Amino acid sequence: MTRRDKGIKHDFMSVEGVVWETSRAEIQVFLYPSEAERKTDTDMLDTVFVSPPGKRIMWRWPAQLVTSQNMAVIILSLNGRQAERIALALGAGLPAAPAKP
């Protein structure tokens, strides 16, 4: 997996993303200052087409949106199994903080 030197900006995301590429997938990672700010951008998106209401994005490969806390990820891949594995790993989020005694 390699990180693209240049970030990515979408008009429907208020932060710039970082792009990771494999031979069969592109993973666009957007980190927000807070979960609330991430939700402002992602809660209105059409989750089937990963696009804003009334606007259809023509992704180069099928797109999948994954969110977890302050992170939003757009996975582009022709390999559904690989996209699912990436989504499961990212969607799991960070482990819970240990309980205080």
Residue 40 in domain: yes
Split into its structural domains, the chain has a count of 1
Residue-by-residue DSSP string for 15-48: S-BEEEE-SSEEEEEEE-SSHHHHHHHHTTSBTT
Residue 98 in domain: no
Q: How far is CA 7 from the centre of its chain?
A: 13
Q: Are 46 and 84 in contact (CB under 8 A)?
A: no
Residue 96 in domain: no
Residue 97 in domain: no
Residue 11 in domain: yes
Structure tokens at 60: 């180069």
Residue 12 in domain: yes
* pLDDT tens, per residue, the chain with 101 residues: 789 999 999 999 999 999 999 888 999 999 999 999 999 999 999 988 999 998 999 999 999 999 989 999 999 998 787 788 777 777 666 566 677 77
pLDDT of residue 86: 77
Domain ranges, residue 24:
2-91
Residue 70 in domain: yes
Residue 67 in domain: yes
Structure tokens at 94: 């960070």
